[in-house]
Structure formats: C-alpha cells, structure tokens
Structure 1
C-alpha cells in the first residue's frame, strides 16, 4: 500500500540557555526506498541555509543525500515559544504507476509550502532531532562525546498525534521504532497506538 499522508504536531520549546552558534533541528521527514533524498518539515533554532538565527523558525526542505547534491527550502519563518506546529507531508494528484507528487508544509503558516513533483514513492518516515555546531565537552571523541547541555532546550518535545495514513484510508499497524545517541544523553521514546493511527514520539534532551 502507498503512504498518502504523514502528519504530526508539536509545540515550540523554550530556547537553549546558551547561544554558541549552534543549530538545532526538530523535524518530520519522508524518504524514498533509494534514500537518495529527504523531504522534511523542520523547526530550527540557529542559522541555516534557509535563514534563521538565535530564535525558532520553520521551513520545508528537500535535501539530496549525495555530497554537493541539490538542496531546496522555503525561507525560514519565525515562530514563538509554545506555538503549536502542525506539520504535514501528503501525496497529491498522483495515480498508480505514475510519478509521485508531494506537498510538505506547516499548516496555516505562510510561505512554508514546498511541492515535489515527478518523484519516487516515499517509503520511510522519521521524526527526529539533529544538531550542528554544538559544543562537545569531550573533544578527543567529537562523534561520541557528550555535548554541552545548555546548547539544547530543556525538558522534552512531544510529537503527538503522529499519524501515517495509506491512500485507501487505512492506517499501518504498529511500526514505529526508535534510535538515539544514548552516550549523548538524548533519548527518544515511542508510544504506538494499537491500531497505529495515533502515535506519540517524545524526544528528551537529557538531564
């Protein structure tokens, strides 16, 4: 069966206590089976190619996985702490055995709609946390060391409801798993609804 839509909702967290030039990304994303690119609705704190700075902002992104591959995005749109975000990636104007067309957006936020047409079918969904330019407190092990706690928000972010629906209206069975950098004290927890249609993903930023 074909994924018709992927939706999730979360609140903009408090800003990090420190501003070290870091960028924090919270996102939902869809990828094809080839893993050549990703389409994602992203909340960011800090600068990126889409804009931004020492504040929270949203944008929709197309990112190619090949080094120096094409990247496209909508301009970063500033949002406020506590504001509820409703992110959506959905199939549109597609018929069986034809190229696939998708819309990625934050609903009711201007300028965040990104259309991807004549592409591959999306088969993988993700909700995640990424970061860049955070301070590593164990510089001898920059890939596995513990990063500076103040470079992140406090507490946790809860993505709920997180739902995927097939084009025939049905919902997939429980299939969400989780992975995280336990050494960096970042934890991801998943609560699967028994029918798979209402799920909760929690990202804990650590003590």
Structure 2
C-alpha cells in the first residue's frame, strides 16, 4: 500500500446522508441533461444549457464547502487509486483517459449500486468532480439491474450534480472513458469535455470552471452491497491510462492506493505512469 497520511488528507473518503451518486452519499440538486449539454459557470451561478444553447436551469453556486466524513464499512469508495499533482494551483490536468471492459453481471441483485469511474478532482478536501461513470443499479441518473454509462459533473460537495441519460451497455463491452480540457477562458477558467468516446449519447461539456483540477482517481464505489455475489467476479482492468497536463507535459505519475480489506477487494498497481498505465481491480 502506498497511500500515506498526505494523500488521505488531500482526498477524504466520502459518505454523508442523502442520494447516492459517484463521489459520495450526499444531499444534492440533480439535473438530467441531454448528451452534448453544457454546464457553465456564469458569475455566481451555474447554468445548465441544452445542446442548442438554451438555458435549462440557472442555479446559484454554493460557496461554502460541505464537510466530508468517513464512510461506513462496505459502502462508499471500496477500492481506489489516487494521484495528486505537486502543483495545486496551475498546470491543471488537460486529459485523463482510461479503457476498461464492462464486468460480468453480478450473480445476485439486491438493490446494490456499483460505480466504476476515472475522474479529475480538486485537492485539499474539495469535492468538485468531472467523471465518466459505469454503473450497475439505480442511481439519481436512472438505470436498473443492468450496466449503463453516463457522464457526471458534481459541484461543491455534490450539492449540484448534472448527468447525461444512462446508456445501457453489456458485459464484455470495451469502454473508452475520456476527460479532455478543450480550452481556457481568460487563462483562469477551464472548459472540459467528458464522455465515453465510443458510446454515443454520453457527452457533457463543463465550461468556465474556476476549480484547478490537479488530482485524479480510478475508483470502485458501491452502496447497498449485502454479499460478495452482489459484485462481479474475477478482475476489472483499468488500462491504457493516459494523462497530460495543461503545459503538454506527461506527469511523473505514481498511484497511491486504498483497499477495503473487509470486502476482500483490492486495487493492484500493474504499471505506474501516465502513458499506458494499468491498474487491476481484484474482487
């Protein structure tokens, strides 16, 4: 295990009462948006715009940070790999791409909700997250006892969350989960696109974000799991991991990991690095 106190302080594990979303169980304002929609920061508001530019929802931003508490056993972040850039204020992550294969269906369905994702995040306990998400179960975005994918944006302790409509996928499908910095606004605000590049209907644009996204995660998150059979069996491999920073550099990426020993689930580092990295999730 290579996750020390510094990394834990930078990225606490999430778990508060409320709806269950990737990024923690918290109280939220949720918006289902069409693929291709834009989430843009305008002054002290967040505007949700549909693909033709029509404002669907203007929502005040919430400036206070929501405290984050430790999760209960067997729920929340079950196993994850974490990296944080030494530079927390500039040279943000410009791309973070991962490929993985949809796992086998769980043997049992007991109302569990299981998420897999790569994400970019803030550091120092902040909880604004951009993430392409694979899920089994019913989340605030929808879904059911099947695998589906959607793109998510969770803002400020997840008090505001936006997501595309889940698209059903099948065990054995290969997923290309991509997060890309497309441009900057006045040099201080960032415009990102998140999607599964090979699954139509999963594109989400986040615009004018002032948060510095300098941390990254590869994660298994779960809620309502009652037995090992509520998870898939075997392994899930996060591979062809690629990362670039805003200045074009390839970071020296060494993952920290945390595993849930009580669940017998672990994240194994097969290959560090931001070019062709590989992690294996073992159930």
Q: TM-score, normalised by structure 1?
A: 0.87
Decide whether aligned partners of structure 1 residues 114 and 27 sit closer, same or farther in structure 2, where only a CA change above 3 A counts. Answer: same
* More displaced stretch, 45-54 vs 58-67: 58-67
Residue pair 2:185, 2:191 contacting (<8 A) in 1 also: no
2:258 matched to which residue of 1? 179
SS of the counterpart of 2:258?
coil
Q: Could you tell me how far apart the structure 2 residues matched to 1:33 and 1:96 are?
A: 22
Q: Deviation at 1:95?
A: 5.7
Confirm whether residue 202 of structure 1 aligns to residue 266 of structure 2: no
Confirm whether residue 122 of structure 1 aligns to residue 213 of structure 2: yes
Q: Could you tell me how far apart the structure 1 residues matched to 2:156 and 2:111 are?
A: 24
Q: Could you tell me how far apart the structure 1 residues matched to 2:156 and 2:259 are?
A: 20
- Unaligned ranges ≥5, structure 2: 1-90
Residue pair 2:118, 2:133 contacting (<8 A) in 1 also: yes
SS of the counterpart of 1:150?
helix
Equivalent in 149, 152, 168 of residue 228 of structure 2: 149
Q: Deviations over 1:44-101 (max 9, x none)?
A: 011111111011000111123536x111100100001111000001101216732111
Q: TM-score, normalised by structure 2?
A: 0.64
Residue pair 1:9, 1:87 contacting (<8 A) in 2 also: yes
SS of the counterpart of 1:198?
strand
Residue pair 1:24, 1:44 contacting (<8 A) in 2 also: yes
In the TM superposition, 1:19-34 aligns within 5 A as 19-33=109-123
Q: Could you tell me how far apart the structure 1 residues matched to 2:203 and 2:101 are?
A: 19
1:62 matched to which residue of 2? 153
Q: CA RMSD in A?
A: 1.6
SS of the counterpart of 2:188?
coil
Confirm whether residue 18 of structure 1 aligns to residue 18 of structure 2: no
How many residues matched?
A: 191
Q: Could you tell me how far apart the structure 2 residues matched to 1:56 and 1:196 are?
A: 28
Q: Could you tell me how far apart the structure 2 residues matched to 1:102 and 1:173 are?
A: 22
Q: Could you tell me how far apart the structure 2 residues matched to 1:11 and 1:191 are?
A: 16
Confirm whether residue 45 of structure 1 aligns to residue 45 of structure 2: no
1:100 matched to which residue of 2? 190
1:7 matched to which residue of 2? 97
1:71 matched to which residue of 2? 161
Confirm whether residue 87 of structure 1 aligns to residue 166 of structure 2: no
